[in-house]
Amino acid sequence: MDAMNRWKYAKRSLIGLLCLPGLCVAGAIHGKVLLSGTAPAAKKLDVTIDQYLCGTEKDANDLIVSPRNEIANAVVWLEDTPPNASWPAGADKATVDQRGCEFLPRVVIVPAGGTVDFLNNDRLLHNIHATPKLNVSFNRTQPKSRTIPITFAKPEIVHIECDLHSWMTAWVVVAAHPYYALTKADGRFAFDNLPPGRYRLHVWHERLGTVPVAVTVPDKGDAAVSVEMKMR
């Protein structure tokens, strides 16, 4: 066993010991994802089909930044996780609607083996199309009011498109464990019930890429972290 593997084994053993009944010492990571520098102007996309329902243009929504540079729709996860972490009830299901010629929400998280129900509440035909690397590809036409469930078996980030309406896009983040979080408008995320120690975070955004961050949960109290992402 090399030094790196010995360290990982020792860390998992320590975490397991700390979380034995009656001995568990739990901390947390509380953070915020921010854009470094000045946010670019919001992009508009031309609507070229079905304008009677979709309108003539749409917000791109590929980078949503608050006046305080807080980033929405960033996905944050831990690389090394405590053992025996459990998903909350109902986490194995997510829903993505097609409404107003947009995917809503734009980003969802579902565990590996979980299912996303794709809905269509528009009075026109859509389709859902994805060509993931690890999961099964699909391309399904979807008339109004039809629900199409798609199960994602392996962890990866999957891009969803509607071929009929080229501006429509969504992302399914297939999670390997429960320690994944999606930032809202205030850019915040949190992970609770973490034993003290050093952790490595990964922060992903569809337009800004992925940023790794190291953070240490102290023996007493919580860790606060601010993650800055830059335009590529």
Q: Give the whole-number percent of the chain exceeding pLDDT 90.
A: 84
Given this model, what pLDDT does residue 13 score?
Answer: 46
Which of 44-50's residues contact partners 24+ apart within 8 Å by CB, and which partners?
45/167, 46/167, 47/101, 47/165, 47/167, 48/166, 49/164, 49/165, 50/101, 50/124, 50/165
- pLDDT grade for 104, boundaries at 50, 70 and 90: very high
Burial group, residue 154, by CB count within 10 angstroms (0-12, 13-18, 19+): middle
Q: Is the pTM of this model over 0.85?
A: yes
d(Cα 139, Cα 189) in Å, to the nearest integer?
A: 33
pLDDT in tens, 65-100: 999 999 999 999 999 898 888 999 999 999 999 999
Strand partners, 213: 201
Of 167, 199, 174, 214, nearest in space to 51 by CA: 167
Of 143, 109, 111, 103, nearest in space to 125 by CA: 143
pLDDT at residue 149 tops 50: yes
User: What's the half-sphere exposure (Cβ side, CA atoms, 13 Å) at 162?
Assistant: 27
Of 184, 188, 193, 200, nearest in space to 226 by CA: 188
- pLDDT grade for 132, boundaries at 50, 70 and 90: very high
Given this model, what pLDDT does residue 2 score?
Answer: 56
What is the pLDDT of the chain when averaged over all its residues? 91
Residue 7: its H or E element = helix 3-18
pLDDT at residue 16 tops 70: no
Strand partners, 32: 188, 226
pLDDT in tens, 23-48: 456 899 999 999 999 999 999 999 99
Q: How many CB atoms lie within 10 A of CB 168?
A: 22
Given this model, what pLDDT does residue 82 score?
Answer: 87
Of 24, 28, 29, 63, nearest in space to 43 by CA: 63
Coil, strand or helix at 224 = strand
pLDDT in tens, 176-231: 999 999 999 999 999 999 999 999 999 999 999 999 999 999 998 899 999 999 99
Q: How many CB atoms lie within 10 A of CB 212?
A: 10
What b/e string do you get for 72-108 counting C-beta neighbours within 10 Å, with b at 16 or more?
bbbbbbbeebbeeeeeeeeeeebebbbeebbbeebbb
